Structure 1
Amino acid sequence: MNRLIIFFLCAFFFLERVFPQTKNLSSTLKSMLESTQLRSSLVGAKVVNSKTGKTIFELNSDKLLHPASTLKLFTTAAALHYLGKDFSVKTEIFLDEKRNLIIKGNGNSLLRTEHYETIAQKIIQQGIKNIQHIIIDVSYFDDNSWGKGWMWDDEPGASAMHISPLCVNGNVVNVIVTPNKVNEKPFVELDPRTSYFTLLNESKTVSAIDNRFPLFEVTRKWKERENIIVVKGQLPATSLKDTFSVNVWKPEFYAGTLLKERLNVGGVQITGEIKRGTSENSKKIFLLSHPLDSLIHKANKESDNLSAECLLKILAAEKNSIPGIADSGIHLEKIFYSLIGIDTSNMIIADGSGASDYNLVSVNHVISLLQYQFKQSTFKSFKESLPIAGVDGTLKNRMKGTHAEGKVFAKTGTKRGINSLAGYIEKRNGEVISFAIIINHFSGEIKTLRKIIDAFVLEITK
């Protein structure tokens, strides 16, 4: 009898210690999200124990919200599920009987100028001296280079790049600007230097800004669908050298032009033009390859929209049919979500990156995905693709120097009036926490939302 009394007393004191902590945490988190700063905003949040699945806190967990780039969690998880971590993305080089050089893109968003230099060197090393046409094979994707629900006025921003199976430099070009003497045009150069663009420098270096005249701007004639880079307005003479980035129209021809220019430098004579075609009935001479993990890391760590959109279309091309179509990839994603217990009847997925304002998910959807991934053999790879607080990616400068540094692995999301964060927290006591927070309809500065979300995460991490 005494033993039984002692047992119940111990159990009582244990529960008194544990459950008040959980209750207090829940109350604290609720108070944080009911602050006056968020009074006119819509907030959804959920926190669960990853190992037990027990809910620690939830608020508006069924409300549909715009996730912004946290949607990339869904895209990358589906890519891992369908394609497997050993899948690789290839860029193939062919030569046909008419000495046409064919470069076939299969959605490798990681290709840079240096990769095209490598391709040129390999062609030269094979003793190829004369080429008729450079043929761009982009048959792996459909011709729709713009995501559903993307804003027209996001052009020509670097994050609103045009999608193509043949990519280079993230399908953007860098414009480097340095002030000149007062009343002189600033120095402007493109990186990489290429003939694919026309550069119009209509700007002026000034001693002081005159509000009667336009401010400094670097843009592209995107309404005309032309690759004419325009630099205009007033640049203060005290400005530092700066780099601006704009997206590129028809990036596959950008890639083809860079390849042609590097072949020319290497002494290869090209008598024809750069044009579209296919690699049918051609001999493959070599290929470049990147593992799937590298695209997933790029999409999640750096929140790279191009990588996420390419993954969506690769999924469609590999598991449905060529050409890869975004809607087909989304259909496959929803099948996967249903298989893991996510109710897809009330979620809207419009793209792979989260750039579309059509996307609507709840934090319940996000937590269900995170919980599923936690139990998979690919979890380590998935977790390591996420930004780490205070360490790398889009969380490199957040929660730095706090007890959350190095302990929070989470995908960020940012758009006008939207901020979100979702992922995992590794606590000092060995617990792993899955969490998701999405805030919509905020009219203030985004940095204010980030501070609120960081404080929310820090409270959980204690």
Structure 2
Amino acid sequence: MLNSISTPKIRSLFPFRILLVFLGLLCIAQLQISYAGNLDDLHNLVGDQDAVLVTDTKGRVLFSKNAGRQLIPASTLKILTALVALDSLGPDFRFVTEFYLDQADNLIVKGYGDPLLISEVLVQITATLATQLSANSKEIKDLVLDDSYFGDPIVIPGVTSSYEPYDAPNGALCVNFNTVNFKRKPSGAYVSAEPQTPLLPFALDRIRASGMKHGRIILSSEANESTRYAGHLLRHFLKQQGIDIKGRIRIGRVRKEADKLIFKYASEFSIQQVVSKLFEYSNNFMANQLLVAIGAHVYGPPGTLPKGVRAASTFAKNVLKINNFKIVEGSGISRENKISAHNLHIILEAFAPHYHLMRREGRTFHKTGTLNNISTRAGYIESSKGGLYRFVVLINTPGKTTDRIMDILLNNLK
């Protein structure tokens, strides 16, 4: 009885199981079709002046359109600048700033392009420097600023004479990214907008000329304004440490055979930390400080933009085997920069060991880029199974952004 009852049940379940298997395979097929179809939908979003390249965790191409076309990368070019800095300067590199006393008791400061000489750092420097000065001199006369490690002037293509921070000039001795952050009180008086930095009288004329009521303006390179501002801020912090500069602030040069080195500040920020902050703030000033410093490091001082561009281009051609591209500066602010999605992907492959230095949003580590009618993004998407997808999105069509493309990628790259 048991057999006669059970056997028909088993037989009746067999077609049902086949149906379940069939439905399962159909669902998988539909998922695959949906996955491929959604990526195919990218074709409609990528115009003639755009490019997209996406690869899986093993470097296999998942989607490609116009990947060989030379387009404007905007700030995604900073990935190349960061990679060249890490390779050329080396993992142990730290920017330095030197302090000398000459025979007339003048204090001489020699800059080497440190992009992170910020107020908090100057406070630390002057605390140590005050001790050295007290031990070496009774009274400091002039404060002499030596910015000769970079050539003069550093002209960055794409930078204008605006007051905006992204147009900040570069130099060997600069503080606070060559910017001043201020606000105007109801009384009409201008004050600093950040507690760590005083608003110096030196900057007031520049602020008034801007016509702005608040914000962050840049110092110009004309008449050594940005370098002299560094001197004024340094004098302020030295005075807080009990060291008074009796003379004037002026531009000069170190004579290493005659002047006495009393303090050599090595940055508290490693080159990896500098790169991380470069990505965090997408700071054009920092990018080109790095590029010019690379030029000086590779080809000797003075650092110049052509030397930096040459170093980056040589690295790209010889190490990455990239050809058919054009870079004229290191931040991406210039529309003269041209590179393909294919070549930018090669840069991403080389940068992969350092991907964690990029800005993170959810599963993505990336660099965005924006110019007028230009929207770009490149980086990595974490896979749920480990590894990293690579993506490059270069949108050069006016009025379009990377948003819809990124939504499709994030929804399908699991």
What's the TM-score, normalizing by structure 1?
0.75
Give the conservation status (yes or no) of the 8 Å contact 1:33–1:43: no
**For 2:232, what is the secondary structure of its paired residue?**
helix
Deviation string, structure 1 residues 195-228 (Cα, Å, up to 9, x no partner): 21234xxxxxxxxxxxxxxxxxxxxxxxxxxx35
1:251 corresponding residue in structure 2: 226
Give the conservation status (yes or no) of the 8 Å contact 1:129–1:268: no
1:335 aligns with 2:287: no
2:328 partner amino acid: A
Deviation string, structure 1 residues 150-179 (Cα, Å, up to 9, x no partner): 1435x110111110111211110012134x
1:440 corresponding residue in structure 2: 396
Measure how far apart 1:388 and its partner are: 0.3
Pick aligned residue for 1:385 from 336, 339, 357: 357
Change (3 A) 1:129 1:262: farther
Distance between the aligned counterparts of 1:129 and 1:441, measured in 2?
Answer: 64
Change (3 A) 1:176 1:457: farther
1:457 corresponding residue in structure 2: 409
How many positions carry a matched residue from both structures?
Answer: 377
Measure how far apart 1:275 and its partner are: 1.5
Deviation string, structure 1 residues 290-314 (Cα, Å, up to 9, x no partner): 3211221121222111111111011
1:305 aligns with 2:261: no
Deviation string, structure 1 residues 368-425 (Cα, Å, up to 9, x no partner): 1112233xxxx1xx21210101xxxxxxxxxxxxxxx1x2111111111111111111
Distance between the aligned counterparts of 1:101 and 1:189, measured in 2?
Answer: 29
2:356 partner amino acid: E
1:161 aligns with 2:161: no
**For 2:209, what is the secondary structure of its paired residue?**
strand
Please say which of residues 251-260 and 272-281 is displaced more in the overlay: 272-281
Distance between the aligned counterparts of 2:349 and 2:233, measured in 1?
Answer: 44
1:294 partner amino acid: Q
Larger-gyration structure (1/2): 2
1:356 corresponding residue in structure 2: 334
2:154 partner amino acid: S
1:284 corresponding residue in structure 2: 261
Distance between the aligned counterparts of 2:107 and 2:188, measured in 1?
Answer: 39
- Structure (1/2) with the larger helix percentage: 2
1:143 aligns with 2:114: no
Measure how far apart 1:24 and its partner are: 4.6
What value does the CA root-mean-square deviation take over the aligned residues? 2.6
Measure how far apart 1:451 and its partner are: 2.8
Distance between the aligned counterparts of 1:115 and 1:351, measured in 2?
Answer: 27
Pick aligned residue for 1:120 from 119, 122, 126: 126
Distance between the aligned counterparts of 1:252 and 1:259, measured in 2?
Answer: 11
Distance between the aligned counterparts of 2:143 and 2:364, measured in 1?
Answer: 47
Distance between the aligned counterparts of 1:459 and 1:385, measured in 2?
Answer: 24
**For 1:86, what is the secondary structure of its paired residue?**
coil
Distance between the aligned counterparts of 1:18 and 1:64, measured in 2?
Answer: 38
Distance between the aligned counterparts of 1:174 and 1:438, measured in 2?
Answer: 33
Measure how far apart 1:18 and its partner are: 8.8
Q: Which runs of 5+ in 2 are unaligned?
A: 1-24
Pick aligned residue for 1:71 from 69, 73, 77: 77
Measure how far apart 1:330 and its partner are: 1.4
Q: Which runs of 5+ in 1 are unaligned?
A: 1-14, 200-226, 236-242, 390-404
Give the conservation status (yes or no) of the 8 Å contact 1:129–1:267: no
Distance between the aligned counterparts of 2:33 and 2:340, measured in 1?
Answer: 23
1:95 corresponding residue in structure 2: 101
1:188 corresponding residue in structure 2: 190
Distance between the aligned counterparts of 2:303 and 2:32, measured in 1?
Answer: 47
Change (3 A) 1:118 1:61: same
Distance between the aligned counterparts of 1:408 and 1:74, measured in 2?
Answer: 18
Distance between the aligned counterparts of 2:286 and 2:123, measured in 1?
Answer: 21
1:414 corresponding residue in structure 2: 370
TM alignment of 1:17-56, pairs within 5 A: 24-32=34-42, 34-35=44-45, 42-50=49-57, 52-56=58-62
Give the conservation status (yes or no) of the 8 Å contact 2:39–2:409: no
1:262 corresponding residue in structure 2: 237
Give the conservation status (yes or no) of the 8 Å contact 1:129–1:269: no
Change (3 A) 1:18 1:320: farther
Deviation string, structure 1 residues 256-296 (Cα, Å, up to 9, x no partner): 01111232344433232211222223222122223211221
Distance between the aligned counterparts of 2:404 and 2:392, measured in 1?
Answer: 13
Give the conservation status (yes or no) of the 8 Å contact 1:30–1:59: no
Distance between the aligned counterparts of 1:169 and 1:326, measured in 2?
Answer: 21
**For 1:46, what is the secondary structure of its paired residue?**
strand
Change (3 A) 1:309 1:231: closer
What's the TM-score, normalizing by structure 2?
0.83
Give the conservation status (yes or no) of the 8 Å contact 2:155–2:305: no
